[in-house]
Amino acid sequence: MLRRAFQGLSRLVRLPKIASVVQSMEEQAPERQASLKRDLEKDGKEKDVKKQKLESRVDKKKKVAILFGYCGKGYHGLQINKDMPTIERDILQALVKAECIPQEHADDMSKMSFQRASRTDKGVSAAGQENFIQKINDNLPKSIKVFGHKRTTKGFNSKNHCSSRTYLYLTPSYAFAPFETFVTDEYRITPEIINRVNEILKLFKGTHNFHNFTSGVKPKDPSAKRYIIDFTCGEPFVREGTEFVILTVKGQSFMMHHIRKMIGLTIAVVRGFCNEDVVELAWKADKVDIPKAPGLGLVLDQLHFDGYNKKFGRDGIHEPLEWDMYKDEIKKFKEEYIFSDIIKTEKEEKSMMQWMATLTKHSYNNERADEAQGTVKQDVKEGSSSDGNCLGSSETTSQLPDISSTTSQISDFQNKETVSCAGDSTNGEKTGTQSHPTEIIDSEMKLQISKPAESSETVNEQKAELRS
Which positions of the chain have pLDDT values less than 50?
9, 12, 15, 18, 21-22, 54-58, 120-130, 367-369, 375-468
What pLDDT is stored for residue 32 in this prediction? 62
What pLDDT is recorded for position 167? 96
| Residue 295 confidence (pLDDT) | 94
For the structural domain made of 164-354, what CATH number should be given? 3.30.70.660
Q: Characterize the bridge pairing of strands 64-70 and 144-151.
A: antiparallel
d(CA 264, CA 372): 19
Q: Which residues contact 256 (CB under 8 A, 6 or more apart)?
A: 214, 215
Q: Let me know if 222 is exposed, middle or buried by CB neighbors in 10 A (0-12, 13-18, 19+).
A: exposed
Kindly state the helix (H) or strand (E) to which residue 148 belongs, with its residue range.
Answer: strand 144-151
Which one, of 295, 300, 293, lies nearest residue 271 by Cα?
293
Beta-strand ranges (E) seen in 314-436 are 418-421
Q: Provide the terminal-to-terminal Cα distance of the chain, rounded to the nearest Å.
A: 158
Which residues make Cβ contacts (< 8 Å) with residue 86, sequence separation at least 6? Answer: 75, 76, 77, 78, 79, 80
CATH number belonging to the domain at 64-151, selected among 2.60.40.3880, 3.30.70.580, 3.40.50.410, 1.10.600.10: 3.30.70.580
In the beta sheet, which residues pair with residue 150? 65
CB atoms within 10 A of CB 326: 14
Q: Measured between alpha carbons, how far is 209 from 148 in angstroms, rounded to an integer?
A: 37
Write out pLDDT tens, residues 69-89.
Answer: 888 888 887 888 877 888 888
Is 107 an annotated catalytic residue?
A: no
Q: Tell me whether residue 167 is annotated as binding.
A: yes
Q: What are phi and psi of 451, to 5 degrees?
A: -160, 165
CB crowding 20-52: b at 16 or more within 10 Å, else e: eeeeeeeeeeeeeeeeeeeeeeeeeeeeeeeee
Query: Are 424 and 358 spatial neighbours (Cβ–Cβ below 8 Å)?
Result: yes
Q: What angle do CA 168, 171, 176 make, to 5 degrees?
A: 120
Q: Is 436 left (phi over 0), alpha (psi -120 to 50) or beta?
A: beta
Q: What is the pLDDT of residue 422?
A: 33
270 contacts 400 by C-beta, under 8 angstroms: no
Give yes or no on whether 64-151 and 164-354 have one common fold. Answer: yes
Give the pTM.
Answer: 0.65
What is the spatial distance between Cα 387 and Cα 69, in angstroms, rounded to a whole number? 52
Q: What is the pLDDT of residues 337-379, one digit of tens each?
A: 999 999 999 999 999 999 999 999 999 985 444 555 554 444 4
Catalytic residue among 90, 121, 402, 424: 121
Q: Can you tell me the distance from the alpha carbon of 290 to that of 325, in angstroms, rounded to the nearest whole number? A: 40
How many C-beta atoms lie closer than 10 Å to residue 96's C-beta?
18
Domain locations along the chain: 1-59, 64-151, 164-354, 359-467
Q: Which of 346, 247, 226 is nearest to 294 (CA)?
A: 346
- Do residues 353 and 183 make contact, with C-beta atoms less than 8 angstroms apart? yes
Helices (H) and strands (E) in the chain, counts: 15, 12
In the prediction, which pLDDT does 57 show? 46
